[in-house]
């Protein structure tokens, strides 16, 4: 049993990560800027090192899962805040882990650090490919944090795993970039008119996004996997074993619920914002190392995941 601090534990991914940890018998403390549903929650600011240090000491923390971050669109609107929350916050986590000699830190980065597909002629990347970070605050902060991960690993011998998330979708967030994808499925599930956003309708898109419950399982798995299995690189792309595209999502929805209320039109090139993001841009991300090297097994298929979200949204309507 581990004592695990989860920063950003009230967010979409964080909520499911905490649920997974509790179900597996671990002691979980949520550290977030807003109150959450979990009994042991600390309202705090990741950019304040003393607050994090106090939380780690008082709860006798052994592991940290660092999810707290300002996301893509918010980072563009508030670049200075993105630096404070994303970079200062992450570095505080690494520093506290060093000072307290914690067993492991899991830091969640993003495949957004790879940048546009034009830098990769094969249109596929893996962990060995050098990122060509696009000029947006979110991606810049994530790459900065990856470099600091490497510094702490090399300078102090710390056990830090960096997970480049391909993307998480599912219940819990309906605004922002991926939120609009979730809202599309939500509307389809409850019988409202649902039109797939253009950001995900590129005909050659290669999505590796994991359903949020599967993403939570990945992060939980990474937090406790045997260190002897991990490489010196310490970076893993996290996504589905095989890519899918919008048409696969629409077909699954129509098979499950009929889908007369669903409209979808493939587009010949990615939108401006999607052109810089691996997956929606058509740049594929090889996630096989996480499965083959560490031994993770994906449980839910795309159809399973969509079915689960449909059930969730219908039940939420019943509850009012």
Judgement on whether residues 126 and 252 belong to the same structural domain of the protein = no
Q: What is the mean pLDDT of residues 267-276?
A: 93
Enumerate the H helices of 190-287 as residue ranges: 212-224, 246-257
Judgement on whether residues 184 and 97 belong to the same structural domain of the protein = no
Q: What is the distance between the alpha carbons of residues 206 and 241, in angstroms, rounded to a whole number?
A: 12
What residues contact 12, with CB distance under 8 A and at least 6 apart? Answer: 168, 170, 171, 172, 173, 212
Query: Is residue 54 predicted with pLDDT exceeding 90?
Result: yes
Would 105 be classed as within a structural domain? yes
Would 81 be classed as within a structural domain? yes
Percent of the chain with pLDDT over 70: 99
Judgement on whether residues 119 and 224 belong to the same structural domain of the protein = yes
Grade residue 259 by pLDDT with cuts at 50, 70 and 90.
confident
Grade residue 106 by pLDDT with cuts at 50, 70 and 90.
very high
Would 313 be classed as within a structural domain? yes
Would 38 be classed as within a structural domain? yes
Q: For residue 274, what are the domain limits? A: 179-204+242-284+298-319
Grade residue 38 by pLDDT with cuts at 50, 70 and 90.
confident
CATH number for the domain that contains residue 51: 3.40.50.720
Judgement on whether residues 152 and 251 belong to the same structural domain of the protein = no
pLDDT tens-digit series, residues 16-31: 999 999 999 999 999 9
Q: Count the domains in the chain.
A: 2
pLDDT tens-digit series, residues 143-168: 999 999 999 999 999 999 999 999 99
pLDDT value at residue 228:
85
Query: Is residue 3 predicted with pLDDT exceeding 70?
Result: yes
Grade residue 227 by pLDDT with cuts at 50, 70 and 90.
confident
Would 29 be classed as within a structural domain? yes
pLDDT tens-digit series, residues 167-189: 999 998 999 889 999 999 999 99
Would 149 be classed as within a structural domain? yes
Grade residue 232 by pLDDT with cuts at 50, 70 and 90.
low
The dihedrals phi and psi of 169, each to the nearest 5 degrees, come to -135, 160
Q: Are 58 and 255 in contact (CB under 8 A)?
A: no
Judgement on whether residues 98 and 194 belong to the same structural domain of the protein = no
Q: What is the mean pLDDT of residues 123-131?
A: 95
pLDDT tens-digit series, residues 64-88: 999 999 988 899 999 999 999 999 9
Judgement on whether residues 81 and 230 belong to the same structural domain of the protein = yes
Query: Which carries the bigger pLDDT value, residue 37 or residue 54?
Result: 54
Judgement on whether residues 197 and 256 belong to the same structural domain of the protein = yes
CATH number for the domain that contains residue 187: 3.90.25
Alpha-carbon torsion angle 256, 258, 261, 265, nearest 10 = 80
Judgement on whether residues 59 and 111 belong to the same structural domain of the protein = yes
Judgement on whether residues 137 and 260 belong to the same structural domain of the protein = no
Judgement on whether residues 224 and 308 belong to the same structural domain of the protein = no
Query: Is residue 320 predicted with pLDDT exceeding 90?
Result: no
pLDDT value at residue 36:
78
Q: What is the distance between the alpha carbons of residues 261 and 86, in angstroms, rounded to a whole number?
A: 39
Judgement on whether residues 15 and 157 belong to the same structural domain of the protein = yes
Judgement on whether residues 230 and 256 belong to the same structural domain of the protein = no
Grade residue 35 by pLDDT with cuts at 50, 70 and 90.
confident
Q: What is the distance between the alpha carbons of residues 131 and 277, in angstroms, rounded to a whole number?
A: 12
Q: How many CB atoms lie within 10 A of CB 173?
A: 20
pTM of the model: 0.95
Q: What is the distance between the alpha carbons of residues 88 and 49, in angstroms, rounded to a whole number?
A: 9
Would 174 be classed as within a structural domain? no
């Amino acid at each position: 049993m581990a004592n695990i601090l989860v920063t950003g534990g009230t967010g979409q991914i964080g909520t499911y990560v905490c649920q997974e940890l509790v179900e597996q018998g671990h002691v979980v403390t949520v550290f977030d800027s807003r109150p959450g549903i979990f009994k042991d929650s600390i309202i705090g600011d990741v950019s304040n090192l003393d607050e994090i240090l106090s939380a780690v000491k008082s709860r006798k923390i052994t592991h940290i899962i660092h999810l707290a971050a300002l996301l893509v669109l918010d980072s563009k609107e508030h670049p200075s805040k993105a630096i404070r929350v994303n970079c200062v916050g992450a570095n505080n986590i690494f520093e506290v882990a060093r000072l307290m000699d914690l067993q492991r830190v899991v830091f969640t980065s993003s495949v957004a650090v790879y940048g546009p597909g034009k830098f990769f002629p094969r249109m596929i990347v893996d962990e060995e490919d050098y990122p060509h970070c696009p000029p947006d605050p979110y991606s810049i902060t994530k790459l900065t944090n990856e470099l600091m991960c490497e510094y702490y690993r090399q300078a102090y011998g710390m056990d830090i795993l960096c997970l480049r998330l391909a993307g998480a979708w599912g219940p819990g967030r309906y605004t922002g970039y991926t939120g609009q994808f979730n809202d599309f499925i939500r509307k389809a599930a409850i019988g409202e008119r649902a039109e797939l956003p253009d950001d995900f309708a590129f005909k050659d898109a290669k999505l590796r996004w994991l359903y949020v419950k599967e993403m939570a399982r990945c992060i939980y798995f990474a937090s406790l996997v045997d260190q002897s299995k991990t490489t010196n690189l310490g970076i893993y792309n996290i996504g589905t074993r095989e890519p899918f595209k919008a048409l696969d999502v629409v077909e699954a929805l129509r098979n499950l619920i009929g889908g007369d209320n669903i409209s979808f039109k493939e587009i010949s090139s990615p939108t401006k914002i999607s052109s810089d993001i691996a997956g929606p841009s058509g740049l594929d991300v090889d996630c096989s190392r996480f499965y083959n090297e560490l031994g993770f097994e994906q449980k839910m298929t795309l159809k399973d995941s969509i079915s689960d979200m449909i059930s969730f949204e219908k039940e939420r309507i019943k509850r009012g």
